[in-house]
A and B are shown apart, each in its own frame.
Chain A
C-alpha cells in the first residue's frame, strides 16, 4: 500500500530538527530507521504532513563508554549494537536482546531511539531497558530531560515523550559485579515480536545470596514494566529452585494482561511466569 502524500526534510542538526518540529504544529513525524513508521504509514495508521528524516543528523549513531556503563546514540542500529565489542563486554545481555529482534534486514535499519519511541507493547528492548535502569535522554522544549525507562513506557505505543522532543541518547549503567542476565521470549513466528518476553538481571553476593534482582516484562500487558513483587521476593534469598519458582509465580503481579489473537490473557500470564523462571535461572547461572 502507498502512504498518503507528505513533505520531507532531512536536517543536519538536532537543533534544526527541533525547529522544524516546533513549527509544524503536530503534523510532523521523525523518521529514524523507518521499520515501524513506514509500515504504519503504508497502512495509513499515521499520516504525517511532514517527515523529518534524522539519518543525516551528525553524531547520533555511536556506542560509547559512560561512567563504566554505556551511552548509545538514538540513531544507532540494532546491527551496530549487536556487533559492538563494548556492548558485549559491558552489557552482554543487550547484545543478546538486540540479536533476537526481528530479522537481519530490520536490524540493519531499525534504531534504538526509534524502537523506544515507538513503544510497541511487544517490542524486545523495552523489557531490558526497564530492567537495566536505563535512562532516555532527550532534547526539545527547553532543557533536555533524562527520563528513567521505568517512567518512559506509559501505555501501548505511548511514551512520556512530548511531540516536540527528540531522543538523543540512551544511557545504560553498568550492572554491579557478579551480575548475570538472561532474556527469554516466546516469539511470534512471522514477525519475531515477543508474545511475552522477560529480561532478568540477578546479582549474587559473596555468600551466594541474591543481593539485587531486576526483572523487565514485555508483551504481557500494554507497556513494558518491572516485576517488582517478584524482585523483592527474591532479593535477600538464596537462589534455590523453590525460591526462583516462588519469585516467578509473582512475575505477573500487577500486569493488565493483553488478550488478542496471539494469545489469551491467561496464556500470557502463564508465559510470564514460565519465562521469568527460565530467565531467572539462567541469570543466576551466569552470575555464578
Chain B
C-alpha cells in the first residue's frame, strides 16, 4: 500500500506516494534524480549515502522514505551556493581529499555535522567523526587534512 509523504529536500518541497519499503536513498536517487548521494554497501557500514535529516547525519540506506515524512533533508547537491563551493567542498578540492570520489558526498555531509558540533576538532576528533565513512582510496590522511582546513576557513569566515 502506498503512503503519501511530503518532505523538503535542499529547500524544495516534494509530495509523493511511496511504497513503505522504499529506502530514503532510493527515493533521493531514483524518484528525485539526486544521484550525488551514493550507495557503497549493503551492510550500513560505508556511509557513502549520508545525508542530513532535520540536521542529523544519517545513512539514507538505513532509513525508509516514509519515516522522513515532514522532514527537512539536505544532500550534497544542496551545499554549494551557485558556483561557490561549500567551504568543506573547497577544502577537499584544495587538499586533495578525494581520489575516485565515491565516498566524497558521504564524507562531506558527515563533516558538515562534525564541524557544526565542533568547529575546531583535533585530528583524533575528525577521525572518530568519520568512523562511519569508509574510503577505499585515500588512506584518510588528506580527508582529515581537508576537514581541519575547512574548519579553519569556516572559523575565519565567522570571525
Contact = CB atoms under 8 A, between A and B. Distances in A.
Interface of A: 1-8, 10, 31, 34-35, 38-39, 41-43, 51, 53, 55, 79, 102-106, 108-109, 190-192
A7 B56 contact: no
Nearest to A83: B117
Contact of B50 (A5, A39, A51, A105): A105
A103 B131 contact: yes
A191 B66 CA distance: 26
Q: Which 10 A/B pairs are nearest by Cβ-Cβ distance? A: A103-B132, A8-B20, A108-B56, A103-B131, A3-B21, A105-B132, A39-B44, A38-B62, A105-B59, A105-B57
Contact of B21 (A2, A39, A109): A2
Interface in B61-85: 61-64, 66-67
Nearest to A2: B21
B63 A108 contact: no
A41 B42 CA distance: 11
Contacts of B61: 42
Interface residues of B, number: 31
Contacts of A41: 21
Contacts of B21: 2-6, 41
5 contacts: A2-B23, A6-B21, A35-B44, A43-B42, A108-B58
A76 B113 CA distance: 19
Contacts, number: 78
B3 interface: yes
Contacts of A103: 47, 131-133
Contacts of B23: 2, 38, 42
A42 B3 CA distance: 20
B159 interface: no
Interface string B35-46: 000000011110
Contacts of A106: 44, 59, 62, 132
Given A5-B21, A8-B20, A104-B129, A39 B67 contact: no
A105 B47 contact: yes
A31 B42 CA distance: 19
Contacts of A192: 131
A104 B110 contact: yes
Contacts of A5: 19-21
Contacts of A109: 56, 58, 62-63
Contacts of A4: 21
A31 to B, nearest CB: 8
A2 B94 CA distance: 38
